[in-house]
Amino acid sequence: MAKAKSGGWLDNIKTIVYAGLIAVVIRTVAFEPFNIPSGSMIPTLLVGDYLFVSKFSYGYSRYSMPFSPNLFSGRIFGSLPKRGDVAVFKNMHDDYADYIKRIVGLPGDHIQVKAGVLYVNGQPAPRRPMGDILATDENGASIAEKQYTETLPGNVSHLIAKMGDDGFQNNTQEFVVPEGNLFAMGDNRDNSLDSRFMDGRGVGFLPVENLVGRAEFIFFSIDASAPWWQIWEWPLEIRWSRILTGIR
């Protein structure tokens, strides 16, 4: 009896270890879950969205692995994102924290924002008004913004949100994306410290090596505005319509 009991405990421990290893492998080479803590990607992504990121979309770097061990440089099986991809990456200006933005510029591209309109290689990315939007930021404050459909070169369309067309972020210098780098912007154009900010406050140019993966779909979403102890409110806070929706 004692041997059988000991073997049972050993089998349980092995099962837990194997399950942990499988989970690590899946997170490293296939899919990893992320949550959205800020409003910089409104209206595409909302605070409280939970999504899966495909780790194989752009190949693998040391940032693909847990704790980003410095085992090698560059990317294995690497490929560049497409303009319009929503990508997760490590921000070198913020202790390599996970960030999520939209890739609007590839190596060699000329990027500029003039009067709120994005220009790629001298050509404007047309935007079409889509009415107003009311969203909640990371501080729980309601934000009223105008919503547009923006179309990038290659006829890739997505939603953006804006409060106006004034200010530095809406009237930038022309940026030339260096080789091995990308230009990333938040869809919430007036509330995103992205590649337009080169002074260390934002992302600056994004090294391709820092890519973690491409955001694929939302698997859960919740507007956690009620106090945690109001359990009866929990089902009402789930954004059922966003569950299992693709990201574009």
Q: Which domains does the chain have, with CATH numbers?
A: 2-222 (2.10.109.10)
Tell me, letter by letter, the H, E, C secondary structure of the chain.
CHHHHHHHHHHHHHHHHHHHHHHHHHHHHCEEEEECCCCCCCCCCCCCEEEEEECCECEECHHHCCCCCCCCCCCECCCCCCCCCEEEEEECCCCCEEEEEEEEECCCCEEEEECCEEEECCEECCEEEEEEEEEECCCCCEEEEEEEEEEECCCEEEEEEECCCCCHHHCCCCEECCCCEEEEECCECCCCCCCCCCCCCCCCCEEHHHEEEEEEEEEEEECCCCCCCCHHHHHHHECHHHCCEECC
Q: Which amino acid is at 81?
A: P
Q: What is the pLDDT of residue 2?
A: 44
Give the chain's length: 248
26/213 Cα distance (integer angstroms):
13
Catalytic residues: 40, 101
Q: What is the pLDDT of residue 13?
A: 84
Q: What is the pLDDT of residue 5?
A: 52
Q: What is the pLDDT of residue 206?
A: 97
pLDDT in tens, the chain (248 residues): 444 455 678 877 877 876 777 766 766 677 899 999 999 999 999 999 999 999 999 999 998 888 788 888 889 988 999 999 999 999 988 888 999 999 999 999 999 999 999 999 999 999 999 999 988 888 878 888 999 999 999 999 999 999 999 999 999 999 999 999 999 999 999 999 999 999 888 999 999 999 999 999 999 999 887 777 787 778 889 999 999 999 99
